[in-house]
Amino acid sequence: MHLSHWVQPWQSLPSLLSLPIARALAEQLPPDASEHFHETFLPSGRPPLPGSLMQRPDLAMVLDLLGTYGPAAFYAGGNLTLEMVAEAQHAGGVITEEDFSNYSALVEKPVCGVYRGHLVLSPPPPHTGPALISALNILEGFNLTSLVSREQALHWVAETLKIALALASRLGDPIYDSTIIESMDDMLSKVEAAYLRGHINDSQAAPAPLLPVYELDGAPTAAQVLIMGPDDFIVAMVSSLNRPFGSGLITPSGILLNSQMLDFSWPNRTANHSAPSLENSVQPGKRPLSFLLPTVVRPAEGLCGTYLALGANGAARGLSGLTQVLLNVLTLNRNLSDSLAHGRLHPDLQSNLLQVDSEFTEEEIEFLEARGHHVEKVDVLSWVHGSRRTNNFIIGVKDPRSPDAAGATIL
Ligand SMILES: *[C@@H]1O[C@H](CO)[C@@H](O)[C@H](O)[C@H]1NC(C)=O
Ligand SMILES: *[C@@H]1O[C@H](CO)[C@@H](O)[C@H](O)[C@H]1NC(C)=O
Ligand SMILES: *[C@@H]1O[C@H](CO)[C@@H](O)[C@H](O)[C@H]1NC(C)=O
Ligand SMILES: *[C@@H]1O[C@H](CO)[C@@H](O)[C@H](O)[C@H]1NC(C)=O
Ligand SMILES: *[C@@H]1O[C@H](CO)[C@@H](O)[C@H](O)[C@H]1NC(C)=O
Ligand SMILES: *[C@@H]1O[C@H](CO)[C@@H](O)[C@H](O)[C@H]1NC(C)=O
Ligand SMILES: *[C@@H]1O[C@H](CO)[C@@H](O)[C@H](O)[C@H]1NC(C)=O
């Protein structure tokens, strides 16, 4: 792609420093960031301004190496591998060259569900895609339409998400625990969804979670790329270093090491000491639970209908966000910009608070409180971006809450 369509060599490509990165550099600098980290990200000794140009010839070299030697340049014991191992071990880490050479990316089939005539595809465990499908399956039975009041719909969405998020907290890497496949099959089943729906009271919030909840934590930050082409290819990619700047460790070649280990369940991490999940406990070779959910929608039958590519940041809050955006598009027939802009809620299972974003009105909050929800108003819960195709018309739309994402429609 790069070679056939681009005339610029990687080295000459500047990157524009985005507002969130500039803000993170000003406010969330990793503690103990190394001298090399400072030289790379704070060249003038101070956090750079948003929109300033940052040139990274070091990363251009890395891309060149990957272009020439392929994934082996990263994993097979070359300079890049040695540097990453050395950097991690220097900081007390235990990763080895063998960990890299043993690693392989798994290509897996997505989990899917049919929601109102559309196929929804999302990543399988250890990703929490099955919980997204489960939420949609539960909600389908409430027969939501534009005739149902928004307030009543919000109550059902909140109660449904409490169940779906509790289910998500029980997932983990199926290679290390075969019961996860059974949990997943339950989560994808419409019969199971009907059973769970039966526990939701139409007028009263459940005082405590219906199902046991394990610790739910995950990468707060995520980068999203969502592309739809006239050639019928759809790309949805969400990636994360977990925390901003990951572990804060940077190799001499400029690669930031992630802090994805935090996606495992660790005992006593949260204030409330929620139980750690055995399914997601740390183990050699295991992949951690992940709320990164690039999601694709297409008509279940035939070619006519809505096509979507969606992504979200915000860990569990992203799952809540995706569910609500899908409802807006597929149930309430809203256009994509409207669907992304509408206020969203998220039940925080650890604190038992129902978080709502700044788009919520006082009346909506009063309604929810009257139903027994403990509401906490926050500024933003998640950024959900998307791309949509209807017939031959393709659009890209960013979440209006995001200060600098971009959505483009190229005709
Ligand atoms: C690996 O690093 C050494 C020492 O820095 C350098 O001389 C060599 O060119 C590097 N090899 C590659 C393939 O980049
Ligand atoms: C690498 O894979 C081999 C063969 O599967 C296994 O015996 C070994 O323990 C693995 N090493 C690590 C560090 O995981
Ligand atoms: C939704 O519609 C179906 C079929 O008409 C009906 O059986 C079901 O009871 C309805 N669900 C609710 C919650 O009203
Ligand atoms: C729902 O909750 C209300 C208020 O607590 C209660 O009166 C009603 O019986 C409950 N409905 C069901 C079906 O449990
Ligand atoms: C972790 O939590 C358990 C029970 O939840 C408690 O017994 C233990 O003392 C805690 N450990 C630490 C280090 O706080
Ligand atoms: C989306 O729908 C809203 C409400 O119906 C409307 O105001 C807006 O113009 C629409 N936007 C686009 C891009 O069609
Ligand atoms: C969890 O902790 C928060 C404060 O950290 C507290 O407000 C809340 O009541 C606690 N929830 C439970 C279920 O203990």
How high is the pLDDT of residue 50?
78
Q: For the chain, report the end-to-end CA distance as a whole number of angstroms.
A: 19
Burial 49-75 (b: 16+ CB within 10 A, else e): ebeeeeebebbbebeebeeeeeeebbb
> What does each C-alpha distance from 149 to 32, 162, 345 come to in angstroms?
51, 20, 16
Q: Going by C-beta distance under 8 Å and a sequence separation of 6 or more, which residues neighbour residue 161?
A: 135, 319, 320, 323, 345, 346, 347
For 341-374, write each residue's pLDDT tens digit. 999 999 999 889 999 999 999 999 999 999 999 9
Q: What letter does residue 373 receive in the DSSP assignment?
A: -
Cβ atoms of residues 113 and 188 within 8 Å:
yes
How high is the pLDDT of residue 14?
60
Which residue type sits at 170? R
Does the C-beta of 41 come closer than 6 Å to ligand 3? no
Annotated binding-site residue? 52: no
Nearest residue CA, atom 11 of ligand 5? 268
Nearest residue CA, atom 6 of ligand 7? 351
3-state secondary structure of 250: strand
CA–CA–CA angle 329, 216, 113 (5° rounding): 35
* Ligand showing the shortest atom-to-Cα distance for residue 200: 4
For 296-337, write each residue's pLDDT tens digit. 999 999 988 899 999 999 999 999 999 999 999 999 999 999
Q: How far apart are CA 142 and CA 58, in angstroms?
A: 54
Ligand 3 centre to CA of 146 (Å) is: 15
Nearest residue CA, atom 14 of ligand 2? 99
Q: How far apart are CA 338 and CA 335, in angstroms?
A: 5
For 84-136, write each residue's pLDDT tens digit. 999 999 999 999 999 999 999 899 999 999 999 999 999 999 999 999 999 99
Domain ranges within the chain, ordered by starting residue: 2-102, 111-217+290-397
* Ligand showing the shortest atom-to-Cα distance for residue 271: 7
| Side-chain-side CA neighbours of residue 158 (13 Å) | 36
Residue 307's DSSP bridge partners are 389
Percentage of the chain exceeding pLDDT 90: 65
Cβ atoms of residues 174 and 111 within 8 Å:
no
Does the C-beta of 203 come closer than 6 Å to ligand 4? yes
- pLDDT at 24 > cutoff 80: no
Does the C-beta of 229 come closer than 6 Å to ligand 2? no
- Between 139 and 39, name the one with better pLDDT: 139
Nearest residue CA, atom 12 of ligand 5? 268
Tokens 């300079």 belong to 79
Candidate of 265, 266, 273 to mutate for ligand 5, largest count of ligand atoms within 8 Å of Cβ: 273
| Nearest alpha carbon to residue 404 among 15, 136, 99, 80 | 15
| Nearest alpha carbon to residue 166 among 33, 10, 299, 275 | 275
- pLDDT at 339 > cutoff 50: yes
Ligand 5 centre to CA of 319 (Å) is: 29
How high is the pLDDT of residue 391?
82
Q: What letter does residue 386 receive in the DSSP assignment?
A: E
Closest atom of ligand 5 to 268 CA is 1
Candidate of 155, 159, 200, 201 to mutate for ligand 4, largest count of ligand atoms within 8 Å of Cβ: 201
CA 101 to chain centre: 27
Average pLDDT for 260-271 = 80
Cβ atoms of residues 170 and 210 within 8 Å:
no
Annotated binding-site residue? 240: yes
Does the C-beta of 142 come closer than 6 Å to ligand 3? yes
3-state secondary structure of 391: coil
* CATH code of the domain made up of 111-217+290-397: 1.10.246.130
